[in-house]
Structure 1
Amino acid sequence: MKLILILLVLGNLHLVAPDAQGDALFDLRTTLKASPDQLTDWNQNQVNPCTWSKVSCDPNNNVLSVSMSFMGFTGSLSPKIRVLSKLTILSLQGNQITGGIPEDYGNLSSLTMLDLESNRLAGQIPSSLGNLKNLQFLILSQNNLEGPIPDSIASLPNLTSVLLGYNNLSGQIPDHLFHVSKYNFTGNRLNCGFNNTHPCTSGSGDASKKSKAGIIIGVIAGVLVLILLGCFMLFFWRGRHRGYKREVFVDVPGEVDRRIAFGQLKRFAWRELQVATDNFNERNVLGQGGFGKVYKGVLGDNTKVAVKRLTDYESPGGDAAFQREVEMISVAVHRNLLRLIGFCTTPTERLLVYPYMHNLSVAYRLRELKPGEAVLDWATRKRIALGTARGLEYLHEHCNPKIIHRDVKAANVLLDEDFEAVVGDFGLAKLVDVRKTNVTTQVRGTMGHIAPEYLSTGKSSERTDIFGYGIMLLEIVTGQRAIDFSRLEEEDDVLLLDHVKKLEREKRLDAIVDRNLNKKYSMEEVEMMIKVALLCTQGSPEDRPAMSEVVRMLEGEGLAERWEEWQNVEVTRRQEYDRLQRRFDWGEDSIYNQEAIELSGGR
């Protein structure tokens, strides 16, 4: 299967991080008071907004246009959209927006049209709009704006249309505004009209209104033409520069047709990463996986990074793991998924560079703390559980093709400086056609986290991830490992799942919770999380909830109904299990005899 990647030219880097754009637009949705049935595809956790309705972007995922006219908004304008440095059109005509025009809108340096007509805006026109040197159309008619027209607006070099009619504006109109192609100051207390030198409008009101649609269509058409022209020039440039493909692509030895596009990422020099990691000093090792080690590094600008090095590049699957991680990150962009900063390739090396996660992994914070380091409190554990669920929900339900992680566990959930969960390590992940329900491979993963159907048949699906997620929830609640032989000394189950099920049946949930919490938790919330975990780890994959359902249950919706349904089924299954238990003798040979067995083999 050919890699599904985003082909971007190295020189065309994003000027604004997708997460900053998404955050700003979602804040605008919030301040405008959009109703629950409006802008339903604006997902707060889907940080790239270029697939959202009412939003248009250029080929580099920079937001170009936001058009939301006549939608009945009653809120106010968000100042946070100042980060949209490439925004050319902002159209919110015909709503009932209140408050003022934020001064921050003067930072929208690429803006060519600002259309806020027919709202309930009040206050003065910000003088900062005079910073919009590319502005051509300023349309603020039929609001409650007051005060003078700022002199700074008159000096805008590209202004061709100023429509400010029917407000409460007063004072002098800068003379230069009477020389633009289209203006309308009617219905204010300004120095124009019957007793003044200049008329209040450059034409009849009707003509002005009729021309406005043409202006909007013309601007939008112009933007679309620019986008198409940009795409054409991009492909033309690539065609003319095939001889320089080393600057754009990483060629995989032995596979001429499979090239990884890294245009949006930084290409690091080998020497740069060697210096950053102190020559890959063992003291800087953060972790080790099936295909290499991860090192802590500090770049020349003091940025902390994590460098993943494929130490055995020539081994079977080594280069495939490198390609896979890049492929997954090219497809999936989400605040709860680990993002890639850059890469380095040599004839014998493959390295990936990620942001450094200051608080390492959930597994580390649960079980490997050094003296003096803080234990994860219950509120943080709840936030980690929900953030991880949202990241997996995005992989399963919002990516096309969808992505199966195949190694969900506490060790692969990282924590940033704010203890927000970030799902990482896509070395075992699989891209899956949305029309397929599962994919058959040799089993890979960590024992204790592997779903039973995957272990027995080799068939994985998003439901295998959900099983692993359920085990991870139990790790979060108990602080224990998925497999722990020390429990044999107390005649308990080696598998954490079986151990928790037994204590849940005995109504001894207080014996489940991590002792490091020192009883500082809500027993009701503990019960809720354990119930979600047990629903996720049901033996039949069809019975497990989808990740979107898991998110809703963690947010307090729908758990009681699912739990009651499961309890009825579980009683029947338990009776059947007891019958088989009496019939067969399960010897010790059937027990897994390694705490974290890494299974290897082809995918």
Structure 2
Amino acid sequence: MGFIFSAEKVVYALVFISIFFEFFGSNAQFLPVDEVETLRTIFRKLQNRTVTIGRTSCSDGNWNFITDGANSTIVCDCTVNSTCHVTEIHLESFSLPGIFPPEFGNLTRLQEIDLPRNYISGSIPTTLSRIPLKILSVTGNRLSGPIPPQFGAISTLADVNLEDNLLTGSLPSNLGNLRSLVRLLLSANNFTGQIPESLSNLKNLTEFRIDGNSLSGKIPDFIGNWTQLNRLDLQGTSMKGPIPASISNLKNLTELRITDLDGPASSFPDLLSMTNMRRLILRNCLIRGPIPEYIGSMSELKLLDLSSNMLTGTIPDTFRSLIKYDFMFLSNNSLTGQVPQFILDTKRSMDLSYNNFTQPPTLGCTQLDVNLISSYPSVTDNSAQWCLREDLPCPRDAQHSSLFINCGGSGIKIKKDKYEEDLNGRGASSFFPVAERSGYSSSGIWVGNDSALFSATDKFNLINESVPEYYKTARLAPQSLKYYGLCMRRGKGTYKGNLFQRDFNIAERAGGVGKPFTRQLDEVQVNGSTLEIHLQWSGKGSIVIPKRGVYGPLISAITITPNFKVDTGKPFSNGAVAGIVIAACAMLIVLLLRLAEELRGLDLQTGSFTLKQIKRATNNFDPENKIGEGGFGPVYKGVLADGMTIAVKQLSSKSKQGNREFVTETGMMIYALQHPNLVKLYGCCIEGKELLLVYEYLVNNSLARALFGSEKQRLHLDWPTRNKICIGIAKGLAYLHEESRLKIVHRDIKATNVLLDQSLNAKISDFGLAKLDEEENTHISTRIAGTIGYMAPEYAMRGYLTDKADVYSFGVVCLEIVSGKSNTNYRPKEEFVYLLDWAYVLQEQGNLLELVDLDLGTNFSKKEAKRMLNIALLCTNPSPTLRPPMSSVVSMLEGKSKVQPPLVKREVDPSGAAAMRFKAFELLSQDSESQVSTFERDRDHKSSSSVDAPWIDSSSSAKGKDVNQKQQQEEEDEGRSSSSSRKLLDDLTDVKIE
């Protein structure tokens, strides 16, 4: 015995030594407690709950971790007194949907914040001015608001990348104080105003990019002070020309991109000293005169774009020295003379279209690399191919009065119209005719994404399946995209049929992104037999999150039909109605890049509808179309013009949920959550005072009506269907809790929030209308959204919210499915509060199967029913830690894992925690009796929530009282019975039940 005792002592000693060396040996280094807590707060506000942070997390200096395939790093400095301090945080492409935490400013040694390609919203924290920040990269997020003035006080900043966000306002003048700045990247935002004069102080800049903003004023002369500059991007800024002469000082430039200037014409800028130039873009800059000979001396040139200017003269012979170039765009100028043979022999992409060349070459209209469309206007005879001549004249008699093209797709037939295929993959500088009936010409290269395609076939799977087939493919181009209707019958006394759109904002016109949109152009006249449709992009594109995208015009289909009765031989006298059908993916094709990723839709935002569409669909919100009423507002059934049935939730502008920012953020979140057991959000409408969410319509209404409705309403569900519905709800919750990157707690699972489709599959609704972790305290919600009778005890009494609250609610719904009885309305005896109360009693008595719905008779599986009831009781355990996760529930329901017996006994100890929680609900029930949803079989009985109304909001069935008001009432009623439920809630000072 003594030997055994000694052995135990040895074991304990070894364990102690092991623990000691783990924490104190091997030069163990720790993060300070305050930095650990700060990191936890940062990750929580960024809504990443998968990373566990402890004091030893950074003991090796670099802490690398992988979450959902994203590999990121936190770097620490552990060289001082065995203490580590966070110096760098890298979280790239983590799909983080939270706000930009101001707590970054509490990490006093932090030098680098790298958060590119996420979904982070909010403003740039002013607290960043407190830390020695050197690098800030938040490109590809959803940051909004202006750059704060405090930003100019971070004198240590060397690299700032704020590209691809939603930032607004003018640039603060004190940015000029950041004299250590080497890179300043501000493209693809919504900045306005002029570039501040103070930026002339940034003499260490090597890169400055501000593309796609709405700036004013001229390009400042002081850019000549940035003599270290390697790259200057001023594309699509709305600034005025000319390009200042001081640009000649920038001898180190290797990339210069300036486009779309306003103002007077000017001569070519002096770029003679920029011999290392690799990419030169001066497109649509109102430059006149000849192309300088010295451009041919830029031996490293890979890209040259001088298109859409007023250049004259010939192509310089020095261009034969440009042996490294891949792309050259000289289109839409007034170049003359003969195109050099070395150009015609090139195997690289060259666009010379729309110039004034002479002596046309003997080339076909489908020359692979050189685009010469309409570049020989002076040729009037047949010595040149028809495609080289002005206006692309028809080589025979014009005979077409209509045209249908499925851009980027195969030939299809919709109703009586046959849409021609458009599958050719050329793009950088090409023209492709189709049987002298139509053609297209595209120009430009994808900046930053060389692998992008020029057609998007069968990629638009975010658009709902009921739209016409032609919306699901598209033709796209980096810069210029033209379609031609060839050999069209012309009218009398009409003007040239040139339809031109620059920076056409498809998303704005369609009311959102990912939404089909048709632009109809009435009374389009055709002259010279050719109708030209031109879409051009000048740099004001949308943003792509979290992957790099492609920018440029996009078109899904073209429909040209006559607005008169076609009669052979009759002139095209009354014009045509041309409908340009455009998929509203606007200036980006993120779908090509993110199809395999769950959150691809967040970048696109939700599909949007116009108020006019919604009013037409619902017959101007006709009360006859009203199918529900909730705390957030009414719900209407509607039918869109294409025949698709929808459900429209009209949010109250007075509620928090009626806030526009809430609608936008919540809509994006719901739109990203796609699962067979979740109700699908089609889009939203934010117009005037109307704030609307548009969902799929489910014909079989709610589970509540199917189970508890009147005899006419009930569906008399058989046992296999009930089992399928229960498993479907469980799978939907498992997805929200565990499988989705956005970990969502529903907060109001109940029978009215489960809808049934045509096949009686369960779909959870309202899963995005309650936000998780609204306040800063982890798991504490100061606004309780739920329904009494379904809320978990810890949530109802303490506001303590985790996914286990949904597990509890699921257990209650599971009980209702088996029994066919409402938990909030069925009381078999006076001493029982809810159906759940009775279930615990029957379980203790061994008579659990008495709960099975009598309507089933003997037509059910006793084994499955008992399993489902035991799972229901397991899920409704008063202790959240003893409830299983929903993935385990799915496994148990499907019979793949064993069901653990419930651990709750109702009244073993009348003073115990379980009994007190039952008592709490009894008192809550008494205090809120008039507010509880009821479902009666008698249709004449009216209540605050009706089984006729699915889509009832979370807040509708448990509208709360402000607890502060309750406390005042409590002081007034001190002499009253202590049974009041307010006595149980006196510590919930800020809690509201909504």
TM-score range, shorter chain: 0.5 to 0.7
Please tell me the residue identity of whatever aligns with 1:332.
L
Query: Aligned pair in 2 of structure 1 residues 464, 358: CA closer, same or farther (>3 Å)?
Result: same
Structure-1 separation of matches of 2:743 and 2:777:
10
1:259-294 deviation digits (Å, cap 9, x = unpaired): x97846543232322222222222222222211111
2:837 is matched with which residue?
498
Aligned amino acid, residue 823 of structure 2: A
What is the correspondence of 1:290-369 to structure 2 with a 5 Å cutoff? Answer: 290-310=631-651, 312-319=652-659, 322-323=663-664, 325-369=666-710
Q: Is the 8 A contact 1:492 1:499 kept in 2?
A: no
Q: Is the 8 A contact 2:808 2:877 kept in 1?
A: yes
Alignment-mate amino acid for residue 358 of structure 1: V
Aligned to 1:277: 618
* 2:723 maps to 1:382: yes
Q: Which amino acid aligns with 2:835?
A: L
Is the contact between residue 291 and residue 321 of structure 1 (CA under 8 Å) also seen in structure 2?
Answer: no
1:225 is the counterpart of 2:435: no
Q: Which amino acid aligns with 1:314?
A: K
Secondary structure in 1 aligned to 2:784?
A: coil
Q: Could you say if the C-alpha distance between residues 583 and 553 of structure 1 is closer, same or farther in structure 2, counting changes exceeding 3 Å?
A: closer
Q: Retained in 2: the 8 A contact 1:359–1:415?
A: yes
Match of 2:864 in 1: 525
Whether the 8 Å contact between 2:681 and 2:695 is mirrored in structure 1 is yes
Specify the alignment match of 1:577 in structure 2: 910
2:958 alignment partner AA? E
Q: 1:336 to 1:235 in 2, by over 3 A?
A: farther
Percent identity over the alignment is: 35
Distance across 1 between alignment mates of 2:505 and 2:637: 35
Q: Which moved further from structure 2: 551-560 or 527-536?
A: 551-560
Query: As a proportion of its length, which structure holds more strand?
Result: 2
Partners of 2:479 and 2:797 lie apart in 1 by 51
1:21 paired residue number = none
Q: Cα distance, 1:583 vs. partner? A: 11
Give the Å deviation of 1:335: 1.3
- Rounded to whole Å, the distance in 2 between the matches of 1:373 and 1:538 is 30
Q: Distance in 1 between matches of 2:479 and 2:750?
A: 45
Q: Is the 8 A contact 1:474 1:497 kept in 2?
A: yes
Q: Secondary structure at the match of 1:390?
A: helix
Give the drift of 1:515.
2.2
User: 1:523: how far off?
Assistant: 1.5
For 1:23-69, what per-residue CA distance to the aligned partner results, in whole angstroms no more than 9, with x for missing partners? Answer: xxxxxxxxxxxxxxxxx99xxxxxxxxx9xxxxxxxxxxxxxxxxxx
Q: What does residue range 378-457 of structure 1 map to in structure 2 within 5 Å? A: 378-431=719-772, 438-457=779-798
Q: CA deviation at 1:580?
A: 8.4
Query: What is the deviation of 1:370?
Result: 5.0
The size of the alignment, in residue pairs, is 378
Q: Which of residues 817, 822, 831 in structure 2 aligns to 1:476? A: 817
Relative distance call for 1:242 and 1:539 in structure 2 (3 A) is: farther
CA distance in structure 1 between the aligned counterparts of 2:838 and 2:863, rounded to whole angstroms: 20
Q: Could you say if the C-alpha distance between residues 309 and 541 of structure 1 is closer, same or farther in structure 2, counting changes exceeding 3 Å?
A: same
CA contact 2:637–2:645 (8 Å) conserved in 1: yes
- Tell me, in whole angstroms, the C-alpha distance in 2 between the residues paired with 1:590 and 1:372: 30
Between Structure 1 and Structure 2, whose CA radius of gyration is higher?
Answer: 2
DSSP-derived class of the 2:908 partner:
helix
1:144-188: CA deviation from partner (whole Å, max 9, x where unpaired): xxxxxxxxxxxxx9xxxxxxxxxxxxxxxxxxxxxxxxxxxxxxx
Question: What corresponds to 2:959 in structure 1?
Answer: 599
Q: How does 1:27-176 map to 2 (within 5 A)?
A: none
In the alignment, structure 1 residue 513 sits paired with structure 2 residue 852: yes
Q: Secondary structure, in 3 states, of the residue corresponding to 1:472?
A: helix
Cα distance, 1:334 vs structure 2:
1.1
Change (3 A) 1:313 1:589: same
Q: Which residue of 2 aligns with 1:119?
A: none
TM-score of the pair, normalised by structure 1: 0.54
C-alpha separation in 2, matches of 1:296 and 1:585: 40
CA spacing shift, 1:429–1:245, aligned 2, 3 Å: same
Distance (whole Å) between structure 2 residues aligned to residue 454 and residue 229 of structure 1 = 53
Does the 8 A contact of 1:249 with 1:261 survive in 2? Answer: no
Q: Which residue of 2 aligns with 1:254?
A: none
In the TM superposition, residue 477 of structure 1 has moved relative to its aligned partner by: 0.9
SS in structure 1 of the partner of residue 450 of structure 2: helix
CA distance in 2, matches of 1:284, 1:268: 18
Residue number in structure 2 paired with 1:201: none
Deviation digits for residues 450-508 of structure 1 (CA, Å, limit 9, x no counterpart): 11001121121111111111111011111111212x626x3351212111111222222
- Are 1:266 and 1:343, in contact at CA under 8 Å, matched by a contact in 2? yes
Q: CA deviation at 1:516?
A: 2.4
Measure, in 1, the Cα distance between the counterparts of 2:736 and 2:779: 14
Q: Distance in 1 between matches of 2:764 and 2:738?
A: 16
Task: State the secondary structure of the residue aligned to 1:445.
Answer: coil
Aligned Cα RMSD in Å? 4.5
1:224/1:585 CA distance change after superposition, 3 Å: closer
Offset, 1:313: 1.0
Cα separation, partners in 2 of 1:523 and 1:461, compared to 1, 3 Å? same
For 1:598, give the aligned amino acid. Answer: A
The structure carrying a bigger helix percent of its residues is: 1
Structure 2 counterparts to residues 146-225 of structure 1, below 5 A: 225=450
Higher mean C-alpha deviation, range 340-349 or range 382-391: 340-349
How many Å apart are 1:372 and its aligned residue? 7.6
For 1:266 and 1:413, the matched residues in 2 are separated by 23
CA distance in structure 2 between the partners assigned to 1:300 and 1:584 by the alignment = 52
1:3 positional shift: 10
SS in 2 for 1:403: coil
CA displacement at 1:300 relative to structure 2: 1.9
Does 1:535 find its partner at 2:907? no
Distance across 2 between alignment mates of 1:413 and 1:586? 28
Distance in 2 of aligned mates of 1:3 and 1:463: 22
Find the aligned partners of 1:558 and 1:365 in 2 and give their Cα distance.
29
Kept in 1: contact 2:706–2:713 (CA 8 A): no
Distance in 2, matches of 1:405 and 1:266, equals 23
8 Å Cα contact 2:703/2:756 also seen in 1? yes
What is the rounded CA distance, in whole Å, between the counterparts of 1:380 and 1:326 in structure 2?
Answer: 31
Corresponding residue of 2:252: none
Q: When the two structures are superposed, what TM-score results if normalisation uses the length of structure 2? A: 0.34
Native 8 Å contact 1:325 1:426 kept in 2: no
CA distance 1:431–1:401, shift in 2 (3 Å): farther
CA distance in 1, matches of 2:749, 2:672: 18
The residue that corresponds to 1:466 in the other structure is 807
Runs of 4 or more, structure 1, over 6 Å off, are 1-4, 131-136, 228-231, 233-237, 242-245, 248-251, 578-588
Native 8 Å contact 1:338 1:422 kept in 2: yes
CA contact 1:366–1:476 (8 Å) conserved in 2: yes
Structure 2 residue identity aligned to 1:599: K
Partners of 2:833 and 2:807 lie apart in 1 by 21
For 2:632 and 2:917, how far apart are their aligned partners in 1?
Answer: 40
